[in-house]
Amino acid sequence: MIKGNLLYEGKAKIVYETNNPDELLVYFKDDATAFNGEKHGIIEGKGVINNKLSEFFFKQLKDRGIKSHFVEKAGEREMIVKKLDMIKLEVVVRNFVAGSLVKRLGLPEGTPLTVPVLEYYYKSDELGDPMLNRWHIMALNLAKIDELNNIEHIALSVNTILRELLKAKNVDLIDFKLEFGRFDGEVLLADEISPDNCRFWDTETHEKLDKDRFRHDLGGVKEAYQEMLDRLTM
C-alpha cells in the first residue's frame, strides 16, 4: 500500500488516497471536539486507541455477518478501508436516555428505553447536523427506501451484537452513532466505533468511559479510553 494525496481532513481523522483506487487510508488524530466544534482539545494517544478499538469492533461484527468498509489496520494510527460513496447521514441508536435526549424527553439521564430508538441526522456542518425523518431523507434524495430499510436493519443488528459483547465486559452501551456508504451498490457500515462516537458506562458504577468526560470536563479522558481498550482486548 502506498499513501497518496490527502483527500479530506475532518475533526478526528485524515483520509488519503492509496495506490488502490478502491481503497483509502484513514489516519486517526488525537484532536477532540464537542458541541459542533465549539470546544476543541487534544487527548494524547486517542488516535491510537480509537484505531485499535475500531479494528476490534469491525472484526467482531464481520465474524457475525456485518459488512463494513474495514480492510485492515495499517499502523498504530492508520487503517485501510474500502472507498465508499458516503451517505450524508448520521444514524444514532439509543438504549438509554442521555445527551440531547434528556432535554427532548424530559427524562433523567440513564433512564432505560423500553426499545432501542433510532434517529437520523443530516451530515451538514453549515446546518448543525439537524435531525431528519425518512420523508426528509427521501425528499433530499440522500437514500432510497430500500437503503433506509437496510441501514436500520444493520444498525439495530450492530446494537444487539455490541450490547452483548460489552455486557460481558461490564459495560452498558448507552447510545452510539454510525455512518454508512455504498460500495458497488451495496450499503456498508463505515466511519469508526470508539469512545468518540459511543457512550460507554460501567454497568455497576455508571462511570462514563467515553468522550462525555471531555465534553463535560470530568477529567480522566485518556484513562477512560484506555480502560475501554483494556477491557475489550486484554
Measured in residues, the chain has a length of 234
Specify the DSSP element, H or E, that contains 120: strand 112-122
Mean confidence (pLDDT) of the chain: 96
Quick one: pLDDT at residue 29?
Answer: 97
**Half-sphere exposure in the Cβ direction for 212 (13 Å, CA):** 16
Tens of pLDDT along 4-47?
999 999 999 999 999 999 999 999 999 998 877 678 999 999 99
Specify the DSSP element, H or E, that contains 180: strand 171-183
CA distance readout (Å), 190 to 43, 82, 142, 180, 203? 23, 9, 16, 5, 27
Asked whether 107 and 97 are in contact (CB, 8 A), the reply is yes
Supply φ then ψ for residue 177, to 5 degrees: -115, 135
Quick one: pLDDT at residue 50?
Answer: 98
pLDDT higher than 90, residue 234: no
Give residues with Cβ within 8 angstroms of 137, minimum separation 6: 89, 120, 143, 148
The residue assigned the cell 485518556 is 222
For the chain, the C-alpha Rg in angstroms (whole number) is 17
CATH classification of 3-82, choosing from 3.30.70.270, 1.10.150.120, 3.90.105.10, 3.30.200.20? 3.30.200.20
Q: Domain boundaries in the chain? A: 3-82, 85-233
**Percent of the chain residues topping a pLDDT of 90:** 93
Quick one: pLDDT at residue 75?
Answer: 95
Q: Reduced to 3 DSSP states, what percent helix, strand and coil does the chain have, rounded to the nearest 5?
A: 30, 35, 35
Segment among 122-126, 144-148, 224-228 with least mean pLDDT: 122-126
What mean pLDDT comes out for the span 65-79?
97
Give residues with Cβ within 8 angstroms of 201, minimum separation 6: 96, 110, 171, 172, 174, 207, 208, 209
Tens of pLDDT along 162-214?
999 999 999 999 999 999 999 999 999 999 999 999 999 999 999 999 999 99
Q: For the structural domain made of 85-233, what CATH number should be given?
A: 3.30.470.20
What mean pLDDT comes out for the span 216-223?
95
Quick one: pLDDT at residue 2?
Answer: 82
**Half-sphere exposure in the Cβ direction for 33 (13 Å, CA):** 9
What mean pLDDT comes out for the span 87-97?
98
In order, the DSSP letters of 86-107 are: E-SEEEEEEEE--THHHHHHT-
* Coil vs helix vs strand at 44: coil
Can you read off the three cell numbers belonging to residue 133?
A: 425523518
What mean pLDDT comes out for the span 98-126?
96
Looking at the DSSP assignment, which residues form a beta bridge with residue 171?
202
Quick one: pLDDT at residue 1?
Answer: 74
pTM, entire model: 0.95
